[in-house]
Amino acid sequence: VGELPRRVRVVVEAPQHAAMAVALDYLSDRALPAGTLVRVPLGKREVTGVVWDEEPAGAAARPHTVPTELRPVAQVFDALAPLGAGWRALVSFAAGYYQRTVGELALSVLPPELRRIDGVALARRLARLRARGLADAVAAQPATPDPGAVEQPELDAAQQAALQAIATAAAHQPPAAVLLHGVTGSGKTEVYLRQAARVLAQGRQVLVLVPEINLTPQLEARFAARFPGHRLVAMHSGLTPARRLRHWLLAHLGEADLVLGTRLAVFASLPRLGLIVVDEEHDASYKQQEGARYSARDLAVWRGRAESVPVLLGSATPSLESWQRALEGRYCHVALPGRIGGGALPRVRFVDMNLLPRTRGVTTALAAPLVEAIESRIARGEQSLLLLNRRGYAPVLHCADCGWKSDCPHCSAWRVFHKSDRTLRCHHCGYTQRVPRACPACGNPDIQPLGRGTEKLEEQIAELLPTARVARIDADTARRRGALEASLAAVHAGDVDVLVGTQMIAKGHDFRRITLVAAVNPDTALFASDFRAPERLFALLMQAAGRAGRDAQQAAGSEMWLQTWHPRHALYAALRAHDYEAFAASQLAERRSAGLPPFTHLALLRAEARQAAQAAAFLEAAAQAMAGLDGAEAVTVYPPVPPAVARVANVERLQMLLESPSRRALQRLLTAWREPLTALRAEHRGVLRWAIDVDPLTI
């Protein structure tokens, strides 16, 4: 009361190119600790912001003029404890590393509902949450809890050794990140559960990250069933806004003991954090692909280090980045070498497509021996899974008379033929039309589908095995709410003999009756230009193989089939031997000699414009602007190139690669580059959007 107004610094959501200081100055009649949520006037509107203590890294160089007349803070979210120092440090680091403003990052990782409502509405919701004893906001117990999940199974020797190693790593200061390396069915989840139990017993919170929450209901069920006395909340973008806010608040209040979520959950406010688990750490979903392009896996490791909390990275096929760090001793490598109960890994069999009979130069879609193997599975009441990583009926329609193909008028891509609703659909911009009866170019009624997607494979299987019960799961069949759950339930119930699908079905699901997995056409990924394509293919096939024989009784007879034109390819040889280490060694050798990650560090400057020349001019000017900047001497800049799909929705895209053996030099350069880049925009009006992607997954 009667105190003099003082200056507070507040970060608000403002994009990179807004020529504003990183934090804005406001007046407050009382001191506000850093991390306090506030509403502040910004132009004609009022926005939510976070009080920030100091000028974040890299911001000092940005010149800005502070207006003489400061406006007062409109409202303080008194009902909410300020966001902690650990959270602020993580947001600061991520903003600096991924080249975004602190305000943009901080506000984008808070629940959208929290940004929308004011302090009064928030206080009301907090009161309601407390009045209900916090209980019913907790994620509901799964409808069908796995009865075996509640009691603790006996640990085998490898799991006991793993827990011992984790305890040792956790005792380091700061704790060493642990790479928990084990095939599907080796008992990684039980190790997570045991380590979580230790941490919960200390009264601390556990953060579990998963690639996609809707694909891992079992993990949620197992945690919920194992820790009935602890509160578990889910955190992902599929929750309703109100629920997402409730779960976030429960974590922030320290009321939730377990937080299970997708990549955005790495930014959860967790005052008692004691453990971070990153399941399937190699999964590309951990990299955000728009806005702030952060890697939740990398940030989890950073956060664990910063908060002195152990981090468990689990995978059957670790990312080569994590694997290399384990080899260097920077991560503690813990292996779970076999399947629980001594179950065998599926035998890998190849169908050499070169040896198959051809009719009119066209090879049969499914080799006869594979069809027979599926038939015998059906006769035994077992299930088969067919993997084809391409949805739709056919990737393109073609007119043999005039050469017309079903291209998209707005993108440099083919439109995919979807037979189920008779449409041609562009998977990049969504442009959809009814499939034409005749060639739009020459009127020829005989237009042919080229290639094959999951719809066609489903149809072919039904023709080859008329009595088989066939189901298909891909992004199209899973679109309807509840459809995915229903299909999965049918598979679990044994109402399906053959399951056809994209990589969606390769991930996570614990199918008990599948004894045959077949990759119908994996070769397409074998010679893709993307340097990570082999790594992704190997992981996908290993993961798919892991779907077979999860039931130890049936594991001995389980098989993984591959139809390939290149049966002697090194990748397949490693797969046949289930030898991740050999595969990783050969890939790492290639990466080292090619100067690629993890031996170098990359960043992309992406630009979008109506005309490719406008984007190119911007990127070239950006490269010029780099001269003499701190770090430039250690960074190689490559000429701008279009990405795999250059034009999407009539916007031309171009990207410029930066490469350096030194992460620090690359970071220094990117930070110094921000200001000249922002200034360049004024001279390149044609550029619609530009963004820096640090550690891009594809180049």
Residues that bind DNA (CB under 7 A): 13-15, 17-21, 24-26, 40-45, 64-67, 70-71, 685
Instruction: Find out whether 350 and 215 touch, Cβ atoms under 8 Å.
Output: no
- In terms of CB distance, is 520 or 691 closer to DNA? 691
Q: What is the largest CA-CA distance in the chain?
A: 92
Q: Which residues contact 283 (CB under 8 A, 6 or more apart)?
A: 211, 507
Burial class of residue 326 in the structure, from the number of CB atoms within 10 Å of its CB (0-12 exposed, 13-18 middle, 19+ buried): buried
| Residue in the block written with tokens 């070239």 | 620
- In terms of CB distance, is 16 or 364 closer to DNA? 16
Shortest distance (Å) from residue 9 CB to DNA: 8
Count CB neighbours of 353 within 10 A.
18
- In terms of CB distance, is 7 or 422 closer to DNA? 7
Shortest distance (Å) from residue 74 CB to DNA: 10
Distance CA 455, CA 275 (A): 43
Shortest distance (Å) from residue 23 CB to DNA: 7
Shortest distance (Å) from residue 109 CB to DNA: 16
- In terms of CB distance, is 116 or 422 closer to DNA? 116
The alpha-helical segments, DSSP class H, found in 151-278 are 157-171, 188-201, 217-226, 241-252
- In terms of CB distance, is 40 or 208 closer to DNA? 40
Shortest distance (Å) from residue 115 CB to DNA: 10
Shortest distance (Å) from residue 89 CB to DNA: 23
- In terms of CB distance, is 112 or 341 closer to DNA? 112
- In terms of CB distance, is 102 or 560 closer to DNA? 102
Shortest distance (Å) from residue 103 CB to DNA: 11
Shortest distance (Å) from residue 556 CB to DNA: 57
Distance CA 111, CA 50 (A): 13
Instruction: Find out whether 543 and 502 touch, Cβ atoms under 8 Å.
Output: no
Q: Which residues contact 332 (CB under 8 A, 6 or more apart)?
A: 165, 166, 168, 169, 176, 177, 178, 179, 326
- In terms of CB distance, is 40 or 316 closer to DNA? 40
- In terms of CB distance, is 70 or 623 closer to DNA? 70
Distance CA 319, CA 598 (A): 10
Shortest distance (Å) from residue 66 CB to DNA: 5
Q: Provide the CB-side half-sphere exposure for 600 (13 A, CA).
A: 20
Q: Provide the CB-side half-sphere exposure for 279 (13 A, CA).
A: 26
Instruction: Find out whether 653 and 618 touch, Cβ atoms under 8 Å.
Output: no
- In terms of CB distance, is 327 or 688 closer to DNA? 688
Distance CA 11, CA 544 (A): 45
* Coil, strand or helix at 696: coil
Task: Give DSSP secondary structure letters for 480-505.
Answer: STTHHHHHHHHHHTT--SEEEESGGG
| Residue in the block written with tokens 């084809």 | 388
Shortest distance (Å) from residue 60 CB to DNA: 15
